[in-house]
Every structure is written in structure tokens, then in C-alpha cells.
A and B are shown apart, each in its own frame.
Chain A
């Protein structure tokens, strides 16, 4: 058994180097397939990752009437915190709100001037509520509206947020859907092309297969070198594709668009590098080995 494996391995390497063009073609097709599929998926998931980040920055602001005391607001805060869908409630006093407002508009002399003219703080204290899940804001709003504190509430700025949320949700879903569809189509094309390339390379060696049969080699023995080759192709292609993807993220993205953050995509890529690699190697090997086995069936019949 060991002898057989040693011989087939030697044989695989030899035939790979002898059929160098076919080997290269198969290898290239595999690399390109894996590369494009991965790029589409990495892009899709990192974009939806970014979108989720944005969603994370959403919140509902509950503004309190000017005569509400801080204690009353803190009571309300404790109350809202009890709702299971609420992740975080943040208190912003009206003094703090004014500071923030001034800071944000420091460059706009008109606004600063009009603030000074008013003389007193025109802003309200507010509680900023964040939900665990963007879909839960509606529930939280009605919870707030029906709470005992509603008398002191002057405004809930949910409408704007609501629109933004649903638009974002829509975009994320659309990107995921498009990405998955494109990735799926690419995968299919890749499978067909890889299968055909491997079939051609086996066709080129059908004489060798015929001779092996004639001299009494078992089907397993005939298949082994091809399976080894499939494995080898899968492994080398996956490694190469990983490298190409890395280079693409590092150098191509900044070149193509400044609005996509390299860091975000790279972070996603690096944090998922093992799973991506595993999927690629798996896909590469399955494609290589399965195509070989199917393509060889014809030559191994009695």
C-alpha cells in the first residue's frame, strides 16, 4: 500500500510537469474561480458588516419638557432600561446637549450668534435609546409612548430614524442578495469550467489509462494519481487565490474607490481568513477530485 502511494505520488508529480500546459490551465481556472467567488463574498459580507456598524449608530431620542427634573428623567431611564429590547439608555442633559451643539456648529457663526441672542438654553434634555436589534425600535417607541413618563416627553424623533433604518435594512438585504446570487452564478460557472478543463486533461491521457488497464492495473491504482493531482490543484489554487485576494484588498481597493475602507474589508478578511481558506481548499479539492472521478468513469468501464 505504501509502495502504491509512493509510486502514484511520483507519477502525479511527473505527469503534472510533463503536461505542464494542461496543469497550468487547470490551475489558472481553479484560481480564478476561487478568487472571484471569494472576492464577491468578501465584498458582500464586509459591506453588510459596514452597514451593520451604521445600524449600530442608530438610536431613538426621547426629549423631555424643559420643566422636567433630572430625577424624573433618571426614573424614566431606569424604567426604559427594563425593556428587554433595549440595549442602552444614555442620558444627555440639556447643558451637555448645548455643549455638543455648540461644538458641532463651532464653525457656523450665524448659529452661535443666534444662540447668544436667545440668551437661555433652547435645547431639551434627552434620553438616547439603543436597541439590540434595528427591527425593535418600533416596539420601543410604543413602549415609551405608553409609559407613565409620556406626560413629560415633548418629542420622540423616531420618524426620521425609522426611515433611515428601513432604508438601510433594504440596502443591506439587497447587497447580500445580489452578492449571493452573483457568487452562486460564479460558482456554477467555475464548476462547469473546472470540470471541463479536468476532463480535457484526462482525455489527453486516455491512452495512458488504456495501457494501465491492459497491463492489469486496478481501477483504484489508475484513479489515485488523478486524485492526487486534484488534491494538489485544489491546495495550490486555494493558496494562490488567498494571496491574490489579500493583494486585491490591500492595493486595488484604495485605487478604485476612496469611500471603501480598506481596514474594514481587511479586518473582515483577516478575521475570517481560516474559514475562507478552509472553504477554498475544500472547494478546490472537491472540484478537482470530483471532476477527475466523473471524467474518468468513461475510461474505466469494462
Chain B
């Protein structure tokens, strides 16, 4: 479903974020991307939701090229992808409900569907009781669940998670992983970039390791193996 062909990203002359990446991710896969800071994990993920464009190479999403995708089509493409980050990127002046509803509002969904869908999704991630709370009143784990709810609201084909468990205690991390695995089980592709050895080993899914912008290993049933 996602295919990288000879993808390179060069920021400045000597700064090669990614070099000659060749990858293929199938629908329904759960993929962990591991590597040191600066290995290129975030850059790789950003290319999928077109926050960055590669310097060279081709990226296919559902057989469509992301390189030649028109600028005006990018928002539509992004609705196919749910994004989750270490810093949650929640709007702290909106309630839990509003944070999720916002994602539907900006895409022009009718009010009726928003009122129906948002509580459902919040129930799935376990925040059904917290709809009127503000993000600051939630724990880190709960905030990330809220971010996941927002990412899921468009029923995306792919969830892209960039260090979702950074700065989180092990119990909360494990809950987030469980949630991601559950989402994956329901058919959504999950791409997870992380430093967290426990998470990767526990998931026991495909592991891609990056080193200095290159793919160093790609195991279908991998372990965290970054030294």
C-alpha cells in the first residue's frame, strides 16, 4: 500500500536525512521503525503525510504517486492518514470532545455525524467519560489516547505514530501500544517510529531499523536491535 522507491532527502549539501530508501508496507501491517535520533525516522514518516517532499525517488500510496500529487489534493490525502506525536498536538483551549470534533469540522462534515461519531470514538479509546474535560486535566496517557481518537475519526487507512510513548511511564506506554495493536487488528495499517525497546519487543511485529538515513535491517518478526 505504501511504497518507497530509491527515496532520498537532502536538507543541505551535506545533510542527508534519508538515502536511497526502498520499502514496501502492505495493508494491515504493523511496522515499527527504530533508530537513533537523527537516523531519519521522523523524515520517513513525514513523507507519508506529505509534511516533507523527497529530494529524489518515488513514493506510492495506494498506487498513486505522492510526488506528483497536486498541492490542492494534499488535505484530502491527509484524511487517509491519522497522525500521532510525542507532544500530542492537542488544542488546549478546546475540550476533549471539541478536539476530536475539530478534525471533522475542518473537513466539512455535517453536525449530525459529528455528534454521533465523536462519542463513539472516545468510547473506543476509553475517554467516553471525559468529553467535557480540557487536555490539561488529563494524564499524558489520556492525552495520547485523545490524540489517537482524533487520528481515528476520519477512519484512516494508516496510522502514523511518531514517538507516541516518549515521556510516558511504562504502564501508560503499554496501554498506548495495546490501543495501537487493537486498531491494527481492526484492519488499519500502523507505522510506529519509536525509541522504546519494551514496546517494540512486546509488539513482536515487523521492525525496520534506520541508521544514518539508510535501511539497516528489515525483520518481519523483529526485536529492537539498535545499539
Contact = CB atoms under 8 A, between A and B. Distances in A.
B91 A207 contact: yes
Interface in B49-78: 49-53, 71-72, 74-78
Given A4-B108, A211-B89, A214-B83, A219 B49 contact: no
Given A4-B108, A7-B105, A302-B50, A215 B91 contact: no
Contacts of B105: 7
A148 interface: no
Interface residues of A, number: 19
B53 A302 contact: yes
Given A18-B93, A210-B89, A302 B79 contact: no
B45 to A, nearest CB: 12
Interface in B94-119: 102-103, 105-108, 110
A13 to B, nearest CB: 14
Contacts, number: 54
A119 interface: no
Q: Size range of the interface on B?
A: 20 to 34
Contacts of A207: 89, 91
Contact of A219 (B50, B75, B91): B75
A218 B76 CA distance: 8
B78 A214 contact: yes
A111 interface: no
Interface string B105-144: 1111010000000000000000000000000000000000
Contacts of A302: 50-53, 71, 74
A84 interface: no
Interface in A1-20: 3-4, 7, 18
Contacts of B206: none
B107 A216 contact: yes
Main secondary structure of the interface of A (DSSP, over half): helix
Main secondary structure of the interface of B (DSSP, over half): loop
A217 B75 contact: yes
B150 interface: yes
Contacts of A217: 75, 106-107
B154 interface: yes
Nearest to A11: B105
Interface in B134-177: 150, 154
Given A208-B91, A210-B89, A216 B79 contact: yes
Query: Residue among A212, A213, A216, A217 with the most chain B CB within 10 A?
Result: A216
A213 B102 CA distance: 12
Nearest to A7: B105
Interface string A209-231: 01111111111011000000000
B74 A215 contact: no
A215 B93 contact: no
A18 B94 CA distance: 11
Contacts of A222: 106
A23 B90 CA distance: 22
Contacts of B110: 3
Contacts of A18: 93
Nearest to A18: B93
A4 B71 CA distance: 20
B78 A216 contact: yes
Contacts of B78: 213-216
Nearest to B69: A302
Contacts of A213: 75, 78
B66 to A, nearest CB: 11
A279 to B, nearest CB: 35
A215 B106 contact: yes
Interface string A62-95: 0000000000000000000000000000000000
A301 B74 CA distance: 11
Interface in A193-214: 207-208, 210-214
Contacts of B71: 302
8 contacts: A3-B108, A18-B93, A211-B91, A214-B49, A215-B103, A216-B79, A216-B107, A302-B71
Interface of A: 3-4, 7, 18, 207-208, 210-219, 221-222, 302
Interface of B: 49-53, 71-72, 74-79, 83, 89-91, 93, 102-103, 105-108, 110, 150, 154
List the 8 closest A-B pairs by CB distance, nearest first. A217-B106, A216-B79, A215-B103, A216-B78, A218-B75, A216-B75, A214-B83, A211-B89
Given A207-B91, A216-B76, A219-B75, 8 more contacts: A211-B89, A211-B91, A213-B78, A214-B49, A218-B75, A302-B50, A302-B71, A302-B74
